[in-house]
Amino acid sequence: MTTKADAGLGDVPQARAAIWVGAGIFLSRVAGFLRDATLNFYLGNSREADVWRAALRTPNVIQNLLGEGTLSASFIPVYAEFLEEGREEEAGRFAGAALGILTVVAFTAALVGMALAPFLIGILFHRWDPEKQALTAHLVRILFPMTATLAISAWALGILNSHRRFFVSYVAPVAWNAAIVGTMVAFGTFLGWGAVGRRPDLVTAMAWGALAGGFLQLLVQLPWVLPVLRHFRVSLGRRVEGVREALRNFLPVVAARGVVNVSGLLDAVLAGLLAEAALAILANAQTLYLLPISLFGMAIAASELPELSRHRLAAREALAARVRQALQRMAFLLVPSALAYIFLGNVITAALFQRGEFGPMDTAAVYFVLAAYALGLPASASSRVLSSAFYALRDTRTPALVATGRVLLSLAVGASLMFPMDRFAVGDLRLGAMGLAFGSAVGAWMEYAVLRRRLAGHLGPHGPEGGSLARILVAGVVAAAAGLGAKKVLGFSSAPGYLPGLLGEASAWLDPLAALGTVGVFGVVYVGVASLLGVGVPLRRKPPPAR
């Protein structure tokens, strides 16, 4: 039985849901790239860029612990099952209790973080000079309330996803990015702060813009959230039906997210031990690395989780078939994405970022780190689908334990490689961040392998066919060769002194056009060769019915 809000939506294909998620994420990522491109234009890989990246990362503890991924794992399965059973009153009361508890926890944590900001920054980035630490702490105090607000925004996302309304929640971050970009342009260009070297003032204004953007991101979703709520009342009632189960699911996921979040924060701290600008280089590479994970990994995982939760009692073969199709789509989309970054990441980086204070050497440094990250791209994205399968089965403990192992391995490998890699440089920029990226790739493959093995114990065989994966890899390699040829033809000449023959520099106005042509050739050749080899995304194939 479905709710009135969901009438007529029960037959929505999962491919269409994933497309809506992907469309929303794509637009938000475009806005994110515009934000980062504007940031690089004004700051490049500079001292103030390091400060901004560190300040944004530190309070994100709240958002990452209490935000989208955590709520999706603990809130959506319970809420979606209420909807599937037609229990609108219980669903509304549960949603109100979840909002009340989340609000108290998020803003209490924000207040504590604001009070401890100077102490935290002094410990985490102890090698920075006092002036740099003071500016970072000031920004952190502004940004803590922003991350608490974004955690509340994730509650709205969970409501909309459960009602199969995917687009608005994933496009809402455009408002947050627009607020930051508007602030940079207003203060950096119209007030002239970028030209007169007022970078500390500029990053402070950006923090206030980000805080305003957090509230805008939440407000954008409310006109779609409020109409679908029934019997809704904000409370702190732990005795409301479903709350205890959600909290039981919540704690292991918070532990898992906490480990992952601490890992991201420790990556930033470790980068702070390296030469200046290492943190900015790492963050720029992560921005590109996370794009296909967000577009494809999150889109597929987010659209599958509510359906897996609604049908968790179906036959094991049916659930295994759904996971298999999701992993097949992942492979088809993520393997070529990784190859594109490894072979053509310099072209993409230059087209998106190389202007203003961000020059050819910055492009080269970011490309090296991005290529190292790309080695683990397919595994990292596919693990999101596998984790969603565990969450739908009400097993939050296994992903938490595996995530802990991944983080420990990533940090061990990254810390052992970063100082040796820091001996290598592109111009004045050193490459120690590559060691952290290699560690991330190793950890991603470990997590994927262990999750696959553990899920097989629940569902049996559930992975994509080996022959299909081989054909996908062949198509990707052929496409990469075609892309390299197109890059040479379209004007990326060899840049002397560092990476001859691979990294070229074109004029700033030509970079986007040449990049579009290069990536376009890669994409067309990949799809064409994959089609000839008989592989593709199973968009419309339905899993076998439950027995």
Residue 354, judged by CB atoms within 10 A of its CB (0-12, 13-18, 19+), counts as buried
Predicted pLDDT at 307:
57
389-403, pLDDT tens digit by residue? 887 777 778 888 888
Max alpha carbon distance in the chain (Å)? 70
Confidence of residue 328 (pLDDT cuts 50, 70, 90): confident
Task: Write the secondary structure of 8-61 as one string of H (helix), E (strand) and C (coil).
Answer: CCCCCCHHHHHHHHHHHHHHHHHHHHHHHHHHHHHHCCCHHHHHHHHHHHCCHH
In the chain, what are the domain boundaries? Answer: 1-251
- Of all residues in the chain, the percent with pLDDT exceeding 90 is 24
Q: Which residues contact 273 (CB under 8 A, 6 or more apart)?
A: 127
512-528, pLDDT tens digit by residue? 677 788 888 999 999 99
pTM of this structure:
0.71
Distance CA 255, CA 198 (A): 41
Confidence of residue 539 (pLDDT cuts 50, 70, 90): very low
Distance CA 274, CA 276 (A): 6
Q: CB of 362 within 8 A of CB of 430?
A: no
Asked if pLDDT for residue 346 goes beyond 60, the answer is yes
Predicted pLDDT at 306:
56
Predicted pLDDT at 71:
59
Distance CA 467, CA 167 (A): 34
Distance CA 304, CA 406 (A): 24
Asked if pLDDT for residue 480 goes beyond 90, the answer is yes
Asked if pLDDT for residue 67 goes beyond 70, the answer is no
Give the range among 50-64, 254-268, 305-319 with minimum mean pLDDT. Answer: 305-319
Q: Residue 425: enclosing H or E segment and its boundaries?
A: strand 425-426
Interstrand relation of 425-426 and 429-430 (parallel, antiparallel or unpaired): antiparallel
The 3-state DSSP class for residue 108 equals helix
The 3-state DSSP class for residue 79 equals helix
CB atoms within 10 A of CB 131: 11
Predicted pLDDT at 22:
66
Give the range among 66-80, 91-105, 189-203 with minimum mean pLDDT. Answer: 66-80
Distance CA 372, CA 314 (A): 40
Distance CA 364, CA 520 (A): 22
> What integer best gives the mean pLDDT of the chain?
79
Distance CA 66, CA 154 (A): 8
- Of all residues in the chain, the percent with pLDDT exceeding 70 is 79
255-267, pLDDT tens digit by residue? 655 566 667 777 8
438-471, pLDDT tens digit by residue? 999 999 999 999 998 888 887 777 767 778 888 9
| Of 184 and 252, more confident | 184
Distance CA 210, CA 179 (A): 6
Residue 531: alpha-carbon gap to chain centroid: 29
Distance CA 321, CA 524 (A): 29
Q: CB of 371 within 8 A of CB of 343?
A: no
- DSSP tally for the chain: helices H, then strands E: 20, 2
Question: What value does the mean pLDDT take over residues 94-123?
Answer: 87
